[in-house]
Homo-oligomer: A and B are copies of this chain.
Amino acid sequence: MLRLYDYLSSGNSYKPRLLFNLLGQPFDLVELDIMKGETRTPEYLAKNANGRIPLLELEDGTFLPESNAILHYLAEGTRFLPGDRLGRAQVLQWMFFEQYSHEPNIAVVRFWIEHHCLTPEREAMLPEKQEGGHAALGVMENHLVDRDWFVGETASIADIALYAYTHVAPEGGFELTDYPAIRAWLDRVFALPGYIPITQL
């Protein structure tokens, strides 16, 4: 059975946990507490030199890090990855957008607030993060105005990747009031059979 090293409350860790549940696929879960340094031990760094979660352990003992690479691995051959070349590239387009333009702004501010580590240096970075986060939300809103899902006619791993930190964006001070298309899309993800909330194992 596949094994997932995970930290509840991390959106990146939630992504594969949500996909496992949407697929109805059982998995082993190993909870690690990143705030207690459990991803920086020599034992964990031997599994993932980058010291981050989530991490997927395959049945043969291979370790696969990076939340979006894990999503891609799990989704191949399922309805969550398009069957055509352009569709697959567009799914990746949104997943790279998520890791570059969305997560470093929205998820990072949420983390600072949630874990009470908003130092003066970080406080000074808030305006730039807020501008970047709202720019990303604007791009998403614009894209969703006339479509239900990010790529194609059904939910894909692009939606899962973007859902993870968008649905908790208000916890980082990013209110979604002005993004009606995003809010309608969040409702569609929430309604998917097998959906679980971020804090559920």
Contact = CB atoms under 8 A, between A and B. Distances in A.
Contacts of A95: 69, 96
Contact of A62 (B62, B86, B97, B121): B86
A66 B50 contact: no
**Secondary structure of the A side of the interface?**
helix
B49 A73 contact: no
B124 A96 contact: no
A122 to B, nearest CB: 10
A142 B76 CA distance: 29
A74 to B, nearest CB: 9
B50 A69 contact: no
A116 interface: no
Tallying the copies of this chain within the complex gives 2
Among A64, A70, A92, A103, which residue has the most Cβ atoms of chain B within 10 A? A92
A152 interface: no
A90 to B, nearest CB: 7
A66 B70 CA distance: 19
Interface string A158-189: 00000000000000000000000000000000
Interface in A89-116: 89-90, 92-93, 95-97, 99-101, 103-104
Contacts of A92: 66, 68-69, 72, 92
Contact of A65 (B58, B70, B93, B99): B93
Among A93, A101, A142, which residue has the most Cβ atoms of chain B within 10 A? A93
